[in-house]
Structure 1
Amino acid sequence: MKPMVQMNTPGVYVVEKSAFPNSVVAVETAVPVFIGYTEKARNGGKSLTNLPFKVNSMAEFIEYFGSAPIAKFDIKSKDIGPKEKKPAEEKKDGGDDPVTPNNEEGKISLDITDYSITRSSTPYVLYYSMLLFYQNGGGPCYILSVGDYNSDPSADHFIAGIDLLLKEQEPTMIVMPELVMLTSEKDVYKVQQHALMHCGDKVKSRVAILDVFNGYLGRDDASGDVIENFRTGVGINNLDWGAAYYPWINTSLVSENSLSFININDESREVLVNILNRELLAPIESNIQTIGTLESPTTQDVTQKQKLQNVQNQYKKLLDAVKELHPHIDAQFDAINKTLIKMSPIFNTILKEINEKINLLPPSGAMAGIFSMVDHGRGVWKAPANVSLNSVVSPAVNLTHYDQEDLNVPLSGKAINAIRSFVGEGTLVWGARTMDGNSLDWRYINVRRTMIMIEQSIKTAAKAYVFEPNVANTWVTMKGMIRNFLTGIWKQGGLAGSSPEEAFSVSIGLGETMTPNDILEGIMRVTVLVAVTRPAEFIEITFTQQTQKS
């Protein structure tokens, strides 16, 4: 209350008094921070490396942080004898080996030789994860570049990046899609534990969206159960501040048309030429030799031989160009690449293998977009589940109803949210739990994030009353401010109850939340009880037969 004005001169004095309490403004809930490696990190002449920087669109990301890396792959050959004599047990499930992002083999066959395609360049995937983020409803976000494409990725870079966020108040989610591309599984878990500790012990205002290391593999893979490894690796601390998703996803971000033989390492270019020689030149040379062995060739045979020799010369020139051309130097690059695509089925198979490997991504970038879309469309209290993923072809592992049982309700409580494919519906997010599934308080992601929003909003508004008199007038004003805010949340559907009294309560005052000693020590205590909405995760419909009425 303002003091009375000093009245020394006769006249009329106007005194204005505030009729309404201050208002609580809801904090933003959908502001992820992406930590990873970018082509560049520069705003004009200023470096943005290790500096959280806010962008609002993919165009801004490209302006400040650059574009995608050029993925490089090796083609290696291994002679295994005649194809018909190859042992059947060497192939799994009667098909090719699974396509994987690191150094796993995807094989193509040509006569007596198997050629394996493996990624040789470091799989920097932040750019593609940003595409997924914006194509799934993402908005404003922070980018924390910890290095460029010449950097050697390490756990220390990610940990240092997380620590830099202690000074940032706005981000509400930590997303690190490139983390699971590290070669050391132990390093991945060390960073994920650090992220959970950062969220739960230090800032208490954000959650971590985690990926499963080797999450493109099934749980019955010979290398081990990736889910059990993840559950063991992340530990047991601060689990309600994180959510994990499995499996990885096959996307449609990169088209085969955007790939070329430049994606094949220079060292493997010779192998590619040998493959094309055998596919394109060998049949022509064989026909030329056959015509040459004829004792009395006809005019038609001679004409055919000349045509074949012309084609042979064209192919040789083409393959010689493949060895030497560079896309940034030679203007003929695009034309020769298109010619190869039209002529060579095996070259198309190679590009398809490369395309599948590049498009296989961890899901955290897409999930950050889903969180943002649901927050803006329905509210943070709506569970980010039963939502389809855009630009996603399929999950890397096809999960069934029974496969998900242990993911969703394990004995340890470390729930992993499934990404599943449904006929006629596409690829859906089919889980809404934190990793603290045994906690009735913090089992659901939307409950944790709603409480973060309420807590941080009220905390920010309450700063206006620091050092105010700890008396009834202040208590009434503060209670009204909080009640008005929670009433608005209840009207939007964020709190459960048929009336505000059932949805929340606010208590403050001497003898109610404070003792005389609290007031002497300058402590004002406010107690807020809220009934946060929880998702209908399991719907049971009971059917009973009744007797005929007529």
Structure 2
Amino acid sequence: MIQQLATPGVYATEVDGFSSAVVAVPTGIPVFVGYTAEANGEGKPIPISSLSEYISIFGAAPQIEYDYVSNTQAMPPYRANKAAPAFGLYFGLQLFFNNGGGVCYILSLGTYGDVIAAGTFGKDAYTSALAVAAACTEADLLVMPDAVQLSLDDWASVSQMALQSCEQAQHLMCVLDVLNGYLPADGSAQDPVTGGTGNGGFYRIAGLGDDFNKYGVSYYPWLNTNIVSISDIDYSWVSAGTLPLLVADLNTEAATLFPADAAGNATKLQAYISIVALLPQTGDAVAVRQRHQSLMALSPLYQSCMNNIVGSVNLLPPAAAMAGVYARTDHTFGVFQAPANTTIINALSPAVTVTDQQQTDLNMPLNGMAVNAIRTFPNYGLLVWGARTLAGNSDDWRYINVRRTMIMLEQSIKTALQSCVFQANDSLTWASVNASISSFLNALWKEGALAGSKPDEAYSVRVGLGSTMTGQDILDGLMKVTVSVALTHPAEFIVLTFQQQMQTS
């Protein structure tokens, strides 16, 4: 509008020389959905940036109790007692932060006490929580560490709901854990990836269907980690119901440790039996620790029991760790880099050894529901050896980095164009929009996010009457913008060709 001047003088006006910039939205920010010691947040995702911040808001780690079994060859994992089940959110967060994760959101499903009182994990808590998680627009990943504690049918139902929520939100990818992913993928009925589903069996990833799979990704197998140290364990981790069985086995072991015909063993035997007799009794932390240390020094059976507990609590699904790997890769290289051929910190080994032949069935199944393998290689150690989404048969959305890069582009441009809503739908606005988006994409091309030897090969932006809109579109209040990008794809298969040539001298 022309300024009406009435007083003689010199007037200065400022004219913007540049169009509004498109800024890339942050990536590698998961929303974790699980159970906590204290249900703070009033059903809303709460941002945190460290484990200590989590503890101050949601409380400390759960006290898990494992059922002792005499046949130690069958374990680990020991079976977590229902009175104190193996809640996974706290330990998953440790993996997330240790692997490079930063800011994340916590959505509490309720307290540990709620589950213990109910006697089981249920899917009902997830039904409303997933809609809330999908509304957390700052996050781009969805992780559910406690979902592996659900029953077979409930896990499948919750996984499908999570994938559907991500599809509807369009800014989230769901990192799913394979149910019972510590079992071998051997084609048997107990195969957690391709096995049967009936009679209490194990649900196939393929059974989740392909309606929303381009927003899903999964990893196999689970990980043997060192999150919990042997120094953190004592006999209080043995369930009260099976502690008498451990005591009985320790007393049986006593005769072997201290045979009666050996000199001086009577005193040692009596001291040993006295320590074992005190295990079922309550006591302060110092007394519990002293008994534990004495038995660790004397009893191979007790040592084996503690090692099995440590192995059980450290056997963790990989989704939370992979969320940290995503964040680390994003910060180091960019969201356009495939989060593969990299290690997982705090992971000692995969729970199951995956061979080349077994990975063929995981990486390229006929139905396309690809599961990425975590493997160990000589001289390289443990590596994430796959970068596919669950939409493995889709040329558009086969790779994780392609899906996540497109999410970043869509959300970044969408956020920037909010300022153009209700502006004049004319050539000036179109030119401004085109310049903003083109400048953003050009910067990404220079970083290596887009493929092409020159900008024209990497991206194009079209907006305008006769190009993307008709006169009727303008009358209807529509401004249509078409953005085309050439995203980089990972070199998943490298083929070397060797040929002999004739000697020339």
Q: TM-score range by the shorter chain?
A: over 0.9
Q: What's the Cα RMSD here?
A: 1.8
- Residue 97 of structure 1 pairs with residue 74 of structure 2: yes
1:92 paired residue number: none
* Partner residue, 1:220: 186
Which of 265, 276, 301 is 2:250 aligned to? 276
TM-superposed deviation, 1:186: 1.0
> Is it true that 1:402 corresponds to 2:357 in the alignment?
yes
- Is 1:456 paired with 2:427? no
* C-alpha contact 1:73 1:120 (8 A) present in aligned 2: no
**What residue in structure 2 maps to residue 115 of structure 1?**
none
Over 3 Å counting, the alpha-carbon distance change for 1:498 and 1:369 in structure 2 is: same
Determine the structure 2 residue equivalent to 1:144: 107
In the alignment, structure 1 residue 378 sits paired with structure 2 residue 344 = no
CA deviations on 1:329-381 (whole Å, 9 max, x unpaired) are 35322112111100111100011111111111110011000000001110000
CA distance in 2, matches of 1:207, 1:283: 55
Structure 1 segment 492-531 matched on structure 2, within 5 A: 492-531=447-486
Who is 1:189 aligned against?
156
Question: 2:178, 2:55 → 1: CA distance?
Answer: 27
1:335 aligns to 2:328 (yes or no)? no
Q: 1:238 aligns with which of 212, 220, 233?
A: 212
Q: Deviations over 1:246-282 (max 9, x none)?
A: 1111111112221111111223222222222222256
Q: 1:490 to 1:271 in 2, by over 3 A?
A: same
Q: Is the 8 A contact 1:74 1:120 kept in 2?
A: no
The answer on whether the counterparts of 1:281 and 1:315 sit within 8 Å (CA) in structure 2 is no
- Contact 2:141–2:174, Cα closer than 8 Å, also in 1: yes
Q: Which residue of 44, 67, 70 maps to 1:74?
A: 67
Shift of the alpha carbon at 1:410?
A: 1.2
Q: CA deviation at 1:509?
A: 1.0
Residue aligning to 1:392: 347
Aligned to 1:427: 382
The whole-number CA distance in structure 2 between the counterparts of 1:347 and 1:101 is 14
> 1:178-235: CA deviations, max 9, x gaps?
10111x11110111111111111x2101110011111111122754332123233311
Which consecutive residues of structure 1, in runs of 5 or more, have no partner in the other structure?
Answer: 42-46, 79-94, 104-117, 289-303
Q: Residues 152-189 of structure 1, C-alpha deviation per residue, up to 9 Å, x if partnerless?
A: 2211112221111243211110000210111x111101
| Paired-residue identity, % | 41
For the 8 Å contact 2:67–2:79, the answer to whether it is kept is: no
Which residue number corresponds to residue 320 of structure 1? Answer: 277
1:210 aligns to 2:176 (yes or no)? yes
SS at match of 1:478: helix
2:124 maps to which of 156, 162, 165: 156
- Partner SS, residue 147 of structure 1: strand
Are 2:135 and 2:169, in contact at CA under 8 Å, matched by a contact in 1?
Answer: no
Following TM superposition, by how much is the alpha carbon of 1:309 offset from its aligned partner in structure 2, in angstroms? 3.5
Structure 2 residue identity aligned to 1:190: S
Q: TM-score, length-normalised on structure 1?
A: 0.86
- Tell me by how many angstroms 1:284 deviates: 3.9
| 1:73 CA displacement | 2.0
Alignment partners' CA distance in 1, 2:44 and 2:424: 40
CA distance in 1, matches of 2:180, 2:335: 30
TM, length-normalised to structure 2? 0.94
Q: Secondary structure at the match of 1:35?
A: strand
Q: Which residue of 2 aligns with 1:248?
A: 222
Correspondent of 1:127 among 90, 102, 105: 90
Match of 2:426 among 468, 471, 474: 471
Aligned-partner SS, 2:428:
helix
- The C-alpha deviation readout for 1:23-69, integer Å capped at 9, x for no partner, is 0111111110110011123xxxxx32522100001111121122221
The alpha-carbon distance between structure 1 residues 547 and 119, as it changes in their structure 2 partners (threshold 3 A), is farther
State the Cα distance separating 1:75 from its structure 2 match.
2.6
Asked if the contact 2:107–2:133 (Cα under 8 Å) also holds between the matched residues in 1, the reply is no
Cα distance in 2, alignment partners of residues 388 and 169 from structure 1: 29
Task: List per-residue Cα deviations over 1:477-523 (Å, max 9, x = no partner).
Answer: 11111111111111111111111111101111111111111111111
Change (3 A) 1:100 1:333: closer
Cα offset, 1:77, TM superposition: 5.0
- Indicate the residue corresponding to 1:198 in structure 2: 165
Aligned partner (choices 53, 61, 65) of residue 60 of structure 1:
53
User: Does structure 1 conserve the Cα–Cα contact (< 8 Å) formed by 2:219 and 2:373?
Assistant: yes
* Unaligned residue ranges in structure 2 (runs of 5+): 116-120, 195-202
Distance in 1 between residues matched to 2:223 and 2:285, nearest whole Å: 36
AA of the residue aligned to 2:16: S
Distance (whole Å) between structure 1 residues aligned to residue 29 and residue 366 of structure 2: 33
Q: Would the alpha carbon gap of residues 546 and 131 (structure 1) be closer, same or farther in structure 2, given more than 3 Å must change?
A: same
Q: Which has more radius of gyration?
A: 1
Partner of 2:268: 311
The residue identity in structure 2 corresponding to 1:355 is: V
1:314 CA displacement: 2.0
1:25 to 23, 26, 38: 23
Q: How many residues align?
A: 492
Deviations 1:450-497 (A, max 9, x none): 011111111111111111111111111111111111111111111111
Is contact 2:218-2:371 (8 Å) kept?
yes
Alpha-carbon distance between aligned partners in 1 of 2:415 and 2:10, rounded to the nearest angstrom = 39
Contact 1:101 1:360 in 2 (8 A): no
Residues 1:176 and 2:144 aligned together = yes
